[in-house]
Structure formats: C-alpha cells, structure tokens
Amino acid sequence: MRRWLVACLAAGMVALAGCASAPQMTEAKVSCTAGPIPATYGGQPWLAFACDDGRSVALLSAPGNAAAPFSFVVRPSEHGVRVQGDGSGDRGASAAAFAELMAMDDAALLALYEQALLSPEPEGD
C-alpha cells in the first residue's frame, strides 16, 4: 500500500505506473519505488526514492516537514538538473528545498539515486 501511495503522491510531476488517477503526460511513465532513504533539503526532512528510468529521484516530504504534503521529481537534463514539484504545504519550506535541489549537480543527483536504489527493502512492505 505504501508503495502505491508513493507513486500517487509523485503523480503530479510524472505519470507513474500503478496510479490510476495519474494525469497522462507526454513523458514516459516512471515508477519511483526503490528506497526510501532520508535526505535533508531546505532544512527539511525528505524521503528519496530512485525511479526506474535509471536516473531520476522522487522526494516526498517526510513527517515533520513544513512543506508537507509536497513532492519533487529531480532528473538530469541538458542544462543541469530539472526539478518539478507539487504540493500544498508551506511554500517557504518547499521553495528552500527547490533552490537547493536546483543547485545540485549531476554527480550529486547520481549519488542520491544510487543510495536510494541500494537501500534495503523495508520489512513488512
């Protein structure tokens, strides 16, 4: 159930497999279920998931995050990283995280992706 919820929360940025209410977008469907690992951006706690496109990371606001509910998808692009976000929590908290994510370079994104991809599967999931 939690994995399905993760996919649906991130559906605002990318049409994710397994989420019937996800908007249909021109980009390929991506599922972001490997992980999570804890991460901090903009001084707030996030949960990072590796996506099955082999390069993107979905970030969901963790408990205690003032931006909650909020999610980002971060992916490499020709001009650095591309960051898309959606949510209705504190805009200042999400803006601070957005700024930090936009400053991320390809190496940092790859490291975050690999950490989330290699995280052990949580028990009971």
User: How are strands ordered across the β-sheet holding 80-87?
Assistant: 34-41, 44-50, 57-61, 70-77, 80-87
pLDDT above 60 (res 30): yes
Decide if 24 is inside a domain. no
List the structure tokens of 87: 């949510």
Give the Cα separation of 30 and 92 in Å (integer): 28
- What is the count of structural domains for the chain? 1
Q: Provide the domain limits for residue 41.
A: 2-19+30-117
- The three-class DSSP label of residue 40 is strand
List the structure tokens of 32: 């972001």
What pLDDT digit, counting tens, does each position of 60-113 carry?
999 999 999 999 999 998 888 999 999 999 999 999 999 999 999 999 999 999
Decide if 52 is inside a domain. yes
Give the Cα separation of 54 and 35 in Å (integer): 13
Percent above pLDDT 70 for the chain: 74
Decide if 67 is inside a domain. yes
Decide if 86 is inside a domain. yes
Decide if 10 is inside a domain. yes
Please tell me the pTM assigned to this model: 0.75
Decide if 124 is inside a domain. no
Q: In a 10 Å sphere around its CB, with 0-12 CB exposed, 13-18 middle and 19+ buried, how is residue 16 labelled?
A: buried
The pLDDT value recorded for residue 28 is: 65
Decide if 25 is inside a domain. no
Decide if 123 is inside a domain. no
